[in-house]
């Protein structure tokens, strides 16, 4: 039996969800999807980028990821609405729950897209195109937003099919349709071909996906290494990955934050890294794992990025120990002059939390201060677990380290989606 895979992608997800909520719950009369509108971040806190755009705004050349000032230059009357991630989470859960009514094999690929293995379901829902249209129409009718659905025999081709033309459409891209539907497309439109790879391919005379599909594999390997083989396979429609209804375990935990001001001293950077260590440590403890490798990243005011990592003597999920390693890396990486606008922290090479700590002859330095010697790891871990429980019961701000009382500009737990973006006070906004 041939595989039948659907890729379902919400059209302009954040904007669509915001539009549907305003129309159906706030008595709005203007559909954001039909005017020059975008969902964008807060310029004052340096999150001023376009997150989603209407088709009308797209005609001005506005792109997802560009800054709000750039977008305003293209369209001065552009309507910018703030992001509301709590709403988006709710819409995403409803979206996935509906898809799970049609197949037990649903893989959520991102907040607004999913793969569904529909193999063998024709006796329930009809042929693939009929089933896809049933799902598409039901999502629009019951949830209030539109989707594109791509149909094929594997995940790659299904994803490429869903991108062919938008919005609110169903497309097929079966192997026999590849020469007519996929090969004429620009090579940059192929999944896994980014800007840098696209430029390299252009220098090799490869302009379309068809050119890539017919290119010499040895030549691609010599210029692009193993990535050349991967994209050649993709250009020929080859993909053997399966729909994974159970998410694989995390390989690492990371958080980063754009800072609302330039950081020019190590003490302030230490507070920011501590706030990131709090959030990363909390996630490690929640999933009962420890990290053996800590890395940090620094982005300067002129957008130059650098990173550094180290392997710990023993795996850990203790916030103070993660922070200590991060600061060691920070002092090695930063020149102590260049202003910083972005910091990132990542914990990798995960171990089960039962992994025992191996004490070393070199494990004699005071940690995290002369008053708390290194053998107090167990007490520190228990203190972190107790802090997690208190925050879980009484709220994230119920307990914070005293160090953060010195600087109110820095949240005591940072990273990921900032808390002000989780909800929106619509009473402060004009809803047309």
Q: Kindly list the catalytic residues.
A: 113
Query: How far is residue 324 from each of residues 37, 223, 319, 413, measured CA to CA in Å?
Result: 44, 41, 9, 16
Q: Which region, left, alpha or beta, applies to residue 245 given φ > 0 means left and ψ of -120 to 50 means alpha?
A: alpha
Q: Which residue has the tokens 């129309």?
A: 23
Query: How far is residue 378 from each of residues 55, 317, 357, 383, 385, measured CA to CA in Å?
Result: 55, 11, 10, 9, 11
Q: Where are the beta strands (DSSP E) in 118-274?
A: 147-152, 170-172, 252-263
The C-alpha atoms of residue 30 and residue 77 are separated, in whole angstroms, by: 15
In sequence order, what are the residues at sequence separation of 6 or more whose Cβ sits closer than 8 angstroms to the Cβ of residue 215? 204, 206, 232
Between vectors from CA 12 to CA 7 and to CA 16, what angle results, nearest 5°? 110
For residues 345 and 323, the answer to whether their CB atoms sit within 8 Å is no
The C-alpha atoms of residue 77 and residue 82 are separated, in whole angstroms, by: 16
Q: Angle, nearest 10°, between helix axes 85-99 and 13-25? A: 100
């Amino acid at each position: 039996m041939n595989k039948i895979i659907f890729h379902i992608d919400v059209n302009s997800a954040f904007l669509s969800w915001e539009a549907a909520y305003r129309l159906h719950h706030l008595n709005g009369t203007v559909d954001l999807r039909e005017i020059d509108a975008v969902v964008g971040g807060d310029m004052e806190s340096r999150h001023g980028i376009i997150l989603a755009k209407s088709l009308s705004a797209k005609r001005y050349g506005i792109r997802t990821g560009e800054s709000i000032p750039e977008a305003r230059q293209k369209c001065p009357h552009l309507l910018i609405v703030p992001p509301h991630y709590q709403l988006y989470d709710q819409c995403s859960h409803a979206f996935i729950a509906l898809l799970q009514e049609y197949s037990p094999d649903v893989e959520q690929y991102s907040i607004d897209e999913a793969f569904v293995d529909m193999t063998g379901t024709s006796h329930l829902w009809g042929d693939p195109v009929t089933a896809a249209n049933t799902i598409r129409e039901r999502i629009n009718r019951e949830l209030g937003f539109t989707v594109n659905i791509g149909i094929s025999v594997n995940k790659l081709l299904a994803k490429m099919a869903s991108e062919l033309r938008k919005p609110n459409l169903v497309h097929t891209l079966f192997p026999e349709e590849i020469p007519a539907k996929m090969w004429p497309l620009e090579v940059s439109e192929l999944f896994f071909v980014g800007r840098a790879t696209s430029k390299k391919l252009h220098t090799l005379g490869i302009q379309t996906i068809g050119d890539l599909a017919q290119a010499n594999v040895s030549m691609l390997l010599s210029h692009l290494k193993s990535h050349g083989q991967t994209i050649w396979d993709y250009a020929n429609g080859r993909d053997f990955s399966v729909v994974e209804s159970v998410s694989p375990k995390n390989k690492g935990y990371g958080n980063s934050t754009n800072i609302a001001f330039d950081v020019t001293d190590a003490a302030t950077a230490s507070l920011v890294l501590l706030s990131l260590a709090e959030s990363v440590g909390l996630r490690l403890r929640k999933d009962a794992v420890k990290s053996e490798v800590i890395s940090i990243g620094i982005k300067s005011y002129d957008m130059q990025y650098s990173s550094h990592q180290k392997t710990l003597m023993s795996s850990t999920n203790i916030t103070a120990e993660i922070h200590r390693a991060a600061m060691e890396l920070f002092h090695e990486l930063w020149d102590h002059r260049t202003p910083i606008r972005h910091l990132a922290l990542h914990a990798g090479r995960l171990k089960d939390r039962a992994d025992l700590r191996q004490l070393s002859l070199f494990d004699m330095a005071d940690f995290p201060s002369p008053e708390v010697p290194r053998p107090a790891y167990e007490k520190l871990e228990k203190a972190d677990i107790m802090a997690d429980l208190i925050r879980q019961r009484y709220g994230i701000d119920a307990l914070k380290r005293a160090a953060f009382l010195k600087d109110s500009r820095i949240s005591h737990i940072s990273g990921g989606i900032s808390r002000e973006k989780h909800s929106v006070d619509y009473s402060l906004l004009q809803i047309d």
